[in-house]
Structure 1
Protein backbone atom coordinates (compact mmCIF):
# COMPACT_ATOMS: atom_id res chain seq x y z
CA UNK A 1 0.00 0.00 0.00
CA UNK A 2 1.35 3.41 -0.98
CA UNK A 3 1.53 6.36 1.40
CA UNK A 4 1.21 8.66 -1.58
CA UNK A 5 -1.46 11.35 -1.23
CA UNK A 6 -4.48 10.99 -3.49
CA UNK A 7 -5.37 14.70 -3.46
CA UNK A 8 -3.28 17.14 -5.47
CA UNK A 9 -1.20 19.54 -3.42
CA UNK A 10 -0.80 23.17 -4.46
CA UNK A 11 2.08 25.28 -3.15
CA UNK A 12 1.14 28.90 -3.82
CA UNK A 13 3.97 31.43 -3.77
CA UNK A 14 4.88 34.86 -5.13
CA UNK A 15 6.78 34.24 -8.37
CA UNK A 16 8.01 37.86 -8.50
CA UNK A 17 9.79 37.46 -5.17
CA UNK A 18 13.30 36.19 -5.86
CA UNK A 19 13.48 34.46 -2.48
CA UNK A 20 10.12 32.69 -2.86
CA UNK A 21 10.81 31.58 -6.43
CA UNK A 22 14.30 30.33 -5.55
CA UNK A 23 12.98 28.49 -2.48
CA UNK A 24 10.36 26.49 -4.39
CA UNK A 25 12.92 25.65 -7.12
CA UNK A 26 15.39 24.32 -4.56
CA UNK A 27 12.89 22.40 -2.46
CA UNK A 28 12.82 18.66 -3.19
CA UNK A 29 9.73 16.93 -1.91
CA UNK A 30 9.31 13.24 -1.25
CA UNK A 31 7.61 11.20 -3.92
CA UNK A 32 5.10 10.22 -1.23
CA UNK A 33 3.84 13.80 -1.27
CA UNK A 34 1.88 12.84 -4.37
CA UNK A 35 0.75 15.10 -7.17
CA UNK A 36 2.24 18.51 -6.41
CA UNK A 37 1.83 21.79 -8.26
CA UNK A 38 3.93 24.90 -7.70
CA UNK A 39 1.62 27.84 -8.34
CA UNK A 40 2.89 31.35 -9.00
CA UNK A 41 0.18 33.57 -7.49
CA UNK A 42 1.01 36.28 -10.03
CA UNK A 43 0.10 34.10 -13.00
CA UNK A 44 -3.71 34.42 -13.10
CA UNK A 45 -4.05 32.04 -16.04
CA UNK A 46 -2.80 29.17 -13.86
CA UNK A 47 -3.46 30.35 -10.32
CA UNK A 48 -6.87 32.03 -10.29
CA UNK A 49 -8.79 29.08 -8.81
CA UNK A 50 -6.46 28.35 -5.93
CA UNK A 51 -5.72 32.03 -5.17
CA UNK A 52 -9.45 32.77 -5.11
CA UNK A 53 -9.93 29.75 -2.80
CA UNK A 54 -7.31 31.22 -0.44
CA UNK A 55 -8.89 34.66 -0.57
CA UNK A 56 -12.40 33.27 0.07
CA UNK A 57 -11.03 31.39 3.10
CA UNK A 58 -9.58 34.66 4.46
CA UNK A 59 -5.92 34.15 3.57
CA UNK A 60 -3.74 36.89 2.06
CA UNK A 61 -0.97 35.50 -0.14
CA UNK A 62 1.05 38.65 0.64
CA UNK A 63 1.26 37.44 4.24
CA UNK A 64 2.63 34.03 3.40
CA UNK A 65 2.98 31.08 1.09
CA UNK A 66 0.19 28.54 1.17
CA UNK A 67 -0.13 24.81 0.82
CA UNK A 68 -3.58 23.71 -0.32
CA UNK A 69 -4.70 20.08 -0.21
CA UNK A 70 -8.42 19.75 -0.83
CA UNK A 71 -10.12 22.04 1.67
CA UNK A 72 -7.13 22.05 4.03
CA UNK A 73 -4.94 25.15 3.89
CA UNK A 74 -1.59 25.66 5.61
CA UNK A 75 -0.46 29.28 5.40
CA UNK A 76 2.76 31.07 6.29
CA UNK A 77 4.71 29.31 9.04
CA UNK A 78 2.36 26.29 8.88
CA UNK A 79 3.02 25.95 5.14
CA UNK A 80 6.79 26.08 5.49
CA UNK A 81 6.58 23.58 8.36
CA UNK A 82 4.51 21.12 6.28
CA UNK A 83 6.86 21.52 3.32
CA UNK A 84 9.80 20.70 5.59
CA UNK A 85 8.01 17.53 6.73
CA UNK A 86 7.51 16.49 3.09
CA UNK A 87 11.03 17.36 1.91
CA UNK A 88 13.79 14.92 1.20
CA UNK A 89 17.31 15.17 2.59
CA UNK A 90 18.82 14.93 -0.90
CA UNK A 91 20.67 18.24 -0.77
CA UNK A 92 22.37 20.47 1.77
CA UNK A 93 19.61 23.05 1.29
CA UNK A 94 16.90 20.50 2.06
CA UNK A 95 18.74 19.15 5.11
CA UNK A 96 19.10 22.66 6.57
CA UNK A 97 15.53 23.59 5.60
CA UNK A 98 14.20 20.41 7.18
CA UNK A 99 16.20 20.90 10.39
CA UNK A 100 15.01 24.50 10.78
CA UNK A 101 11.37 24.25 9.75
CA UNK A 102 10.39 20.79 11.00
CA UNK A 103 10.04 22.49 14.34
CA UNK A 104 6.71 24.36 14.41
CA UNK A 105 8.15 26.74 17.02
CA UNK A 106 11.15 27.65 14.84
CA UNK A 107 8.88 28.06 11.81
CA UNK A 108 6.57 30.37 13.78
CA UNK A 109 9.51 32.54 14.94
CA UNK A 110 11.47 32.62 11.67
CA UNK A 111 8.70 32.89 9.07
CA UNK A 112 7.94 36.57 9.82
CA UNK A 113 11.63 37.32 9.18
CA UNK A 114 11.35 35.63 5.77
CA UNK A 115 8.22 37.66 5.01
CA UNK A 116 10.05 40.89 5.86
CA UNK A 117 12.82 39.83 3.45
CA UNK A 118 10.21 39.27 0.73
CA UNK A 119 8.65 42.67 1.32
CA UNK A 120 12.01 44.45 1.25
CA UNK A 121 13.03 42.63 -1.94
CA UNK A 122 9.76 43.57 -3.66
CA UNK A 123 10.13 47.20 -2.59
CA UNK A 124 13.75 47.38 -3.81
CA UNK A 125 12.75 45.79 -7.13
CA UNK A 126 9.78 48.15 -7.49
CA UNK A 127 7.26 45.31 -7.54
CA UNK A 128 3.84 45.84 -5.99
CA UNK A 129 2.18 43.35 -3.71
CA UNK A 130 -0.31 40.90 -5.17
CA UNK A 131 -3.76 42.49 -5.41
CA UNK A 132 -6.41 40.20 -3.96
CA UNK A 133 -8.95 40.94 -6.71
CA UNK A 134 -6.63 40.52 -9.68
CA UNK A 135 -7.66 36.89 -10.21
CA UNK A 136 -11.40 37.39 -10.41
Structure 2
Protein backbone atom coordinates (compact mmCIF):
# COMPACT_ATOMS: atom_id res chain seq x y z
CA UNK A 1 0.00 0.00 0.00
CA UNK A 2 1.49 3.40 -0.95
CA UNK A 3 2.46 5.62 1.91
CA UNK A 4 2.41 9.39 2.20
CA UNK A 5 6.20 9.39 1.67
CA UNK A 6 5.93 7.66 -1.72
CA UNK A 7 5.40 11.12 -3.21
CA UNK A 8 9.11 11.76 -2.51
CA UNK A 9 10.19 9.04 -4.95
CA UNK A 10 11.24 10.64 -8.22
CA UNK A 11 9.23 10.04 -11.37
CA UNK A 12 10.99 8.18 -14.22
CA UNK A 13 11.83 11.52 -15.89
CA UNK A 14 13.75 12.57 -12.76
CA UNK A 15 15.93 9.46 -12.56
CA UNK A 16 19.24 11.30 -12.32
CA UNK A 17 20.07 12.06 -8.70
CA UNK A 18 23.09 13.95 -7.39
CA UNK A 19 24.50 13.75 -3.87
CA UNK A 20 27.07 16.34 -2.79
CA UNK A 21 28.96 15.17 0.31
CA UNK A 22 32.24 15.82 2.15
CA UNK A 23 34.84 13.56 0.53
CA UNK A 24 37.36 14.29 3.32
CA UNK A 25 35.06 12.95 6.05
CA UNK A 26 35.54 9.20 6.65
CA UNK A 27 32.05 8.92 8.14
CA UNK A 28 30.50 10.60 5.06
CA UNK A 29 32.55 8.49 2.62
CA UNK A 30 31.50 5.29 4.37
CA UNK A 31 27.85 6.34 4.40
CA UNK A 32 27.74 7.02 0.65
CA UNK A 33 29.61 3.78 -0.08
CA UNK A 34 27.17 1.68 1.98
CA UNK A 35 23.95 3.46 0.99
CA UNK A 36 22.14 1.57 -1.76
CA UNK A 37 19.53 3.28 -3.93
CA UNK A 38 16.71 1.19 -5.41
CA UNK A 39 17.33 0.47 -9.10
CA UNK A 40 13.85 1.70 -10.06
CA UNK A 41 14.69 5.14 -8.63
CA UNK A 42 17.61 5.82 -10.96
CA UNK A 43 21.32 6.50 -10.92
CA UNK A 44 22.96 8.36 -8.02
CA UNK A 45 25.91 10.58 -8.92
CA UNK A 46 28.28 11.16 -5.99
CA UNK A 47 30.04 14.54 -5.92
CA UNK A 48 32.79 15.53 -3.48
CA UNK A 49 31.85 18.93 -2.02
CA UNK A 50 35.55 19.80 -1.66
CA UNK A 51 36.11 19.61 -5.42
CA UNK A 52 35.05 22.30 -7.87
CA UNK A 53 31.92 21.18 -9.71
CA UNK A 54 28.84 22.60 -11.35
CA UNK A 55 26.76 21.21 -8.47
CA UNK A 56 28.92 22.91 -5.83
CA UNK A 57 28.75 26.24 -7.67
CA UNK A 58 24.97 25.91 -7.99
CA UNK A 59 24.55 25.13 -4.27
CA UNK A 60 26.85 28.00 -3.29
CA UNK A 61 24.84 30.42 -5.45
CA UNK A 62 21.68 29.18 -3.70
CA UNK A 63 23.28 29.83 -0.29
CA UNK A 64 23.53 26.19 0.85
CA UNK A 65 26.27 25.79 3.46
CA UNK A 66 27.88 22.43 2.72
CA UNK A 67 29.54 22.44 6.15
CA UNK A 68 26.03 22.24 7.63
CA UNK A 69 25.08 19.15 5.66
CA UNK A 70 25.18 17.32 2.40
CA UNK A 71 22.82 18.07 -0.47
CA UNK A 72 20.68 15.79 -2.62
CA UNK A 73 19.20 16.75 -5.97
CA UNK A 74 16.12 14.90 -7.21
CA UNK A 75 15.12 16.21 -10.61
CA UNK A 76 15.35 20.00 -10.34
CA UNK A 77 14.82 20.13 -6.56
CA UNK A 78 17.71 20.33 -4.05
CA UNK A 79 17.38 19.09 -0.47
CA UNK A 80 19.91 19.92 2.25
CA UNK A 81 20.89 18.46 5.61
CA UNK A 82 18.21 16.43 7.37
CA UNK A 83 15.79 16.77 4.44
CA UNK A 84 18.40 15.29 2.10
CA UNK A 85 19.12 12.43 4.51
CA UNK A 86 15.42 11.67 4.94
CA UNK A 87 14.74 11.61 1.18
CA UNK A 88 17.85 9.58 0.44
CA UNK A 89 16.71 7.05 3.03
CA UNK A 90 13.31 6.73 1.35
CA UNK A 91 15.04 6.11 -1.99
CA UNK A 92 17.27 3.40 -0.52
CA UNK A 93 16.86 -0.32 -0.52
CA UNK A 94 15.96 -2.20 2.65
CA UNK A 95 18.57 -4.88 1.93
CA UNK A 96 21.49 -5.27 4.26
CA UNK A 97 21.84 -4.35 7.91
CA UNK A 98 23.12 -0.83 7.21
CA UNK A 99 20.22 0.14 4.91
CA UNK A 100 17.61 -1.36 7.25
CA UNK A 101 19.11 0.58 10.17
CA UNK A 102 19.19 3.81 8.15
CA UNK A 103 15.53 3.31 7.23
CA UNK A 104 14.54 2.76 10.87
CA UNK A 105 16.41 5.88 11.95
CA UNK A 106 15.61 8.29 9.12
CA UNK A 107 12.27 7.28 7.54
CA UNK A 108 10.55 9.83 9.78
CA UNK A 109 11.33 13.45 8.81
CA UNK A 110 10.81 14.58 12.42
CA UNK A 111 13.22 11.99 13.83
CA UNK A 112 15.75 12.78 11.10
CA UNK A 113 15.56 16.51 11.97
CA UNK A 114 16.19 15.70 15.65
CA UNK A 115 19.11 13.31 15.00
CA UNK A 116 20.86 15.19 12.20
CA UNK A 117 22.56 17.81 14.42
CA UNK A 118 24.19 14.99 16.40
CA UNK A 119 25.62 13.43 13.24
CA UNK A 120 26.76 16.85 12.00
CA UNK A 121 28.54 17.48 15.34
CA UNK A 122 30.25 14.07 15.09
CA UNK A 123 31.43 14.95 11.59
CA UNK A 124 32.76 18.33 12.74
CA UNK A 125 34.61 16.74 15.66
CA UNK A 126 36.04 13.97 13.50
CA UNK A 127 37.32 16.49 10.94
CA UNK A 128 38.96 18.53 13.71
CA UNK A 129 40.70 15.44 15.10
CA UNK A 130 41.92 14.58 11.60
CA UNK A 131 43.15 18.16 11.04
CA UNK A 132 40.77 18.79 8.15
CA UNK A 133 39.36 22.25 7.62
CA UNK A 134 35.81 23.13 6.70
CA UNK A 135 34.48 22.95 3.14
CA UNK A 136 33.75 26.69 3.37
CA UNK A 137 31.91 26.92 0.06
CA UNK A 138 30.33 30.21 1.17
CA UNK A 139 33.71 31.88 1.75
CA UNK A 140 33.29 32.77 5.42
CA UNK A 141 36.37 33.74 7.36
Which sections of structure 2, spanning at least 5 residues, go unmatched? Answer: 1-10
1:5–1:32: 8 Å Cα contact kept in structure 2? no
**Are residue 61 (structure 1) and residue 75 (structure 2) matched?**
no
**Are residue 39 (structure 1) and residue 47 (structure 2) matched?**
yes
Deviation at 1:133, TM superposition (A): 6.0
1:78 corresponds to which residue? 83
Question: What do residues 3-61 of structure 1 show as CA deviations (whole Å, max 9, x unaligned)?
Answer: 545342101100101111100000011012212101111122xxx10011111111011
Q: Distance in 1 between matches of 2:34 and 2:44?
A: 14
**1:18 aligned residue (15, 26, 30):** 26
2:6 corresponds to which residue? none
2:94 corresponds to which residue? 89
**TM-score, structure 1 length as denominator?**
0.89
Q: Distance in 1 between matches of 2:12 and 2:93?
A: 14
**Are residue 128 (structure 1) and residue 133 (structure 2) matched?**
yes
SS of the residue corresponding to residue 127 of structure 1 reads coil
For the structure 1 residues 22 and 5, does the alpha-carbon distance in structure 2 shift closer, same or farther, using more than 3 Å as the test? farther
Ranges of 4+ aligned residues in structure 1 off by more than 3 Å: 3-7
Which sections of structure 1, spanning at least 5 residues, go unmatched? Answer: none
**TM-score, structure 2 length as denominator?**
0.86
Question: What do residues 87-123 of structure 1 show as CA deviations (whole Å, max 9, x unaligned)?
Answer: 1011000001011101001100000100000100000
Q: Distance in 2 between matches of 1:132 and 1:38?
A: 17
Aligned residues: 129
